[in-house]
Amino acid sequence: MTYGDYPKEYDASKHGPYDPARYYGKPDTPFGQVKLNELGAWLSRRQKTPSAVLGACSRAWWRWQHKYVQPKKVSMAPFYQVLVGSMTFFYFINYGKITHHRNYKYH
């Protein structure tokens, strides 16, 4: 599969218009319904290639876009989500510098 092509599982006559937020492969048990004794087999059925990981990230991105950013009546939710996400990200990358500025009582 090259970048920019449709997934090989996608069939326009069967699936209709292409939706980038949908997985067109063989359906499997959702993670929330997997029992503990089936977890190893469920993980072994996952594709662990870089293109599969990028595809999963792309589908998650488009699901978020369709739910929060692209509706006709958009709320402030996507802006707050980006704000909180960026605040959390910058907190973690600067955590080492923040810990050196703690005020301790030495008595």
- Residue-wise pLDDT tens digits, 28-77: 899 999 999 999 999 999 889 998 898 899 999 999 999 999 999 999 99
pTM attached to this predicted model: 0.75
| pLDDT at res. 4 | 77
| pLDDT at res. 2 | 67
| pLDDT at res. 13 | 93
Contacts of 104 (CB under 8 A, 6+ apart): none
Q: Where are the alpha helices (DSSP H) in the chain?
A: 12-15, 39-44, 50-64, 77-93, 95-99
- Residues comprising the chain, all counted: 107
